[in-house]
Chains A and B, each alone.
Chain A
Amino acid sequence: MITDIRAVMAIAGRDVTKLFRDRMRIVISIIFPVIFIGALGGSLQSNWGDKTGYNLLVFIFTGVFAQTLFQSTASGIVSLVEDRVNDFSQEMFIAPISRYSIILGKIIGETLVSMVQGLVIIAFGFIIGVPFDLQQLLWLFPIAIIACLFGGAFGLIVMSNMSSERTANQIFPFLVFPQFFLAGVFSPIMDLPWYLWILSRIAPMTYVVDFSRGLYYIGKPEYSEIVLHHPLVNFAIISAMFLLFLFVGTYSFVKNERNR
């Protein structure tokens, strides 16, 4: 038990140490959110902002914030299978620790890494003039943690069903990219044709993006135009999906890991 706690901390700590060692990674990891928020959000707001009745830059910021953290943690978890034959992961898999500890350590570690990314995005939001009051700013932290943990569980269920190291990284983008649009990261999904409606309600990212907006816009006039579900509803759905992904993902990962 003590060995496992030490191992979880070491695995999580390694991810954070690596992040600070590899500064290029921080830069690369915030390029996309900066482009999405700055270039896409900025241009949409300038051209169509008046017509929608709410600020599109802020709309995109709140979506991209949750999407980036969700995706970043998920891809961090998927990398565990991708490089398990190539680098340090081998060292973790032969250690006398439970496989659950490896997963837990990795989810915590990738969450901490993504949180650093989240701080940079918030700072960028400040710079380009996304308005925050104190309450909104404080809400961003629980949003960030929930988005990261949920992304970690999503990454786990994806990874646990990948038979080979290569397929994980080839298939992962196909599972994440459509969710950008189905979850309404850049565009409203209030009204959708029935088939897109179904897909958007299946996409896990939908709930975390909507959760982020729900807490940002709560008590604001735009709330009813932008937010799909009450934050508590989103939180309940996220919790249920999180537990499902975590248990099924861990179970099948442990089962499939050695059974190749």
Chain B
Amino acid sequence: MKEKEKIIRVENLVKKYRKADKNAVDDVSFYVEKGGFFSLLGPNGAGKTTMVSILTTTLSKTSGKVTIAGHDLEMEADKVRKRIGVIFQNPSLDMNLTAEENIRIHVNLYGLYAYRPLYSFMPSAYKKKIHDLAEILDLKDDIFKPVKTFSGGMKRKLEIIRSLTHNPQILFLDEPTTGLDPLGRKNLWEYLKHVRQTEKTTIFLTTHYLEEAEESDYLCVVNHGKIVSQGAPRDIKKDLIERYIEIDAKDRSALKKELYTKKLLFTGEGPFKIRIEKQTVYELIQSIKTPLTDIDVHSPTLEEAYLEIIGKTNDN
């Protein structure tokens, strides 16, 4: 199989803020495949926003090498900027302007259309685009209303749509659903899925919501500026989480005795927790002769894997 193109390459990235005694990003290396959905997961203060700020050219790195879409981050910052779209943690819309005016300034900043002080002076191609975007956003004439009248979810959608007007290859989303209600989050994710399918945009997400990261193709867990685990979400779960079953019997002493004689390692005094290592759950259950009253197979969630990883790195 042909190896996929690596659209983001980060090698030994270090960032030390002035006046800080520790590195905010501490020798981090990873890459993102073209068209992939990459997540950076970590607690607050882990260095996620610092990494995004560096990758989106708004903060300089201390050392390391980063290339985005084949362009060096420092030497060719303008080329990088043209190829990325960014959804910041804090909304970057001008609340006093209308949705259309926000989009108009964006297309001016990216040199797509010449500046005109009023919508009516804009070329018809632009007007058609606005019409289409209003349709997608289900905004109709509200696109000419000030953004401050929009709901949180609508503002986020508008930011994403705005950032897609210059056809970026990579969309950076820095904790995009912070402050949205569950419905707003669900709608936003549905929209993002649609964007991935239609535009084939590479998604770079930072989040502390596990269920959002669970959807990604590749995941890096960061803590204290370091990557503490990385891989596909299911591999991270498999590697880190202890899989076990909990069993119980009416005659607990008989069960305990049987477990001893069969040399099955367990914890607890009933129910008994048994680690699943080489054998399958089925084999394990079949080998036990004492009548069981309760069997609980524990399947790991990403949340547990995450808490375990973060817990371990905090202890260190």
Select the residue from A7, A9, A92, A94 with max chain B CB neighbours within 10 A. Answer: A94
A99 to chain B, nearest CB (A): 10
Select the residue from A11, A163, A259, A260 with max chain B CB neighbours within 10 A. Answer: A260
Contact assessment for B115 and A91 in the assembled complex, using a CB-CB cutoff below 8 Å: no
Given contacts A13-B115, A95-B81, contact A7 B90 (CB under 8 A): no
* A135 in contact (CB, < 8 A): no
Residues of A within 8 A of B17 (CB): 260
* B178 in contact (CB, < 8 A): no
Contact assessment for A7 and B59 in the assembled complex, using a CB-CB cutoff below 8 Å: no
Residues of A within 8 A of B113 (CB): 6
* B268 in contact (CB, < 8 A): no
* B285 in contact (CB, < 8 A): no
Residues of A within 8 A of B105 (CB): 10-11, 13-14, 88, 91
Contact assessment for A95 and B110 in the assembled complex, using a CB-CB cutoff below 8 Å: yes
Contact assessment for A95 and B109 in the assembled complex, using a CB-CB cutoff below 8 Å: yes
Residues of A within 8 A of B58 (CB): 90, 93-94, 258
Contact assessment for A9 and B106 in the assembled complex, using a CB-CB cutoff below 8 Å: no
In the bound complex, CA of A163 to CA of B109 (Å): 26
Select the residue from B17, B57, B94, B113 with max chain A CB neighbours within 10 A. Answer: B94
How many A-B contacts at CB < 8 Å in the complex?
95
Task: Give the interface size class of chain B.
Answer: 35 or more
Contact assessment for A9 and B111 in the assembled complex, using a CB-CB cutoff below 8 Å: no
Contact assessment for B59 and A90 in the assembled complex, using a CB-CB cutoff below 8 Å: no
Among B60, B94, B110, contact of A87 (Cβ-Cβ < 8 Å): B94
In the bound complex, CA of A18 to CA of B105 (Å): 12
Among A3, A21, A88, A97, contact of B146 (Cβ-Cβ < 8 Å): A21
* B151 in contact (CB, < 8 A): no
Contact assessment for A6 and B92 in the assembled complex, using a CB-CB cutoff below 8 Å: no
Contact assessment for B60 and A6 in the assembled complex, using a CB-CB cutoff below 8 Å: no
Contact assessment for A91 and B90 in the assembled complex, using a CB-CB cutoff below 8 Å: no
Residues of A within 8 A of B281 (CB): none
Given contacts A18-B97, A87-B91, A87-B95, contact A92 B59 (CB under 8 A): no
B184 to chain A, nearest CB (A): 20
* B137 in contact (CB, < 8 A): no
Contact assessment for B82 and A96 in the assembled complex, using a CB-CB cutoff below 8 Å: yes
In the bound complex, CA of A22 to CA of B146 (Å): 11
B99 to chain A, nearest CB (A): 13
* B18 in contact (CB, < 8 A): yes
Given contacts A7-B109, A94-B56, A95-B110, contact A87 B93 (CB under 8 A): yes
B226 to chain A, nearest CB (A): 21
Residues of B within 8 A of A95 (CB): 81, 109-110
Select the residue from A10, A16, A86, A93 with max chain B CB neighbours within 10 A. Answer: A10
Contact assessment for A94 and B59 in the assembled complex, using a CB-CB cutoff below 8 Å: no
In the bound complex, CA of A22 to CA of B105 (Å): 18
Given contacts A2-B111, A94-B81, contact A14 B57 (CB under 8 A): no
Contact assessment for B18 and A87 in the assembled complex, using a CB-CB cutoff below 8 Å: no
Interface string of A4-44 (1 = CB under 8 A from B): 00110111011011100110000000000000000000000
Contact assessment for A96 and B97 in the assembled complex, using a CB-CB cutoff below 8 Å: no
Contact assessment for A90 and B114 in the assembled complex, using a CB-CB cutoff below 8 Å: no
* B108 in contact (CB, < 8 A): yes
Among A11, A14, A96, contact of B78 (Cβ-Cβ < 8 Å): A96
A189 to chain B, nearest CB (A): 40
**Can you pick out 17 interface pairs between chain A and chain B where the beta carbons lie within 8 Å of each other?**
A3-B111, A6-B111, A6-B115, A7-B111, A10-B105, A11-B105, A14-B94, A17-B97, A18-B97, A21-B146, A88-B102, A91-B106, A94-B86, A96-B111, A258-B58, A258-B60, A259-B60
Q: Which residues of B contact A (CB under 8 A)?
A: 17-18, 56-60, 78-79, 81-82, 84, 86, 88, 90-97, 101-102, 104-106, 108-111, 113-115, 117, 146
Q: Which residues of A contact B (CB under 8 A)?
A: 2-3, 6-7, 9-11, 13-14, 16-18, 21-22, 85-97, 163, 258-260
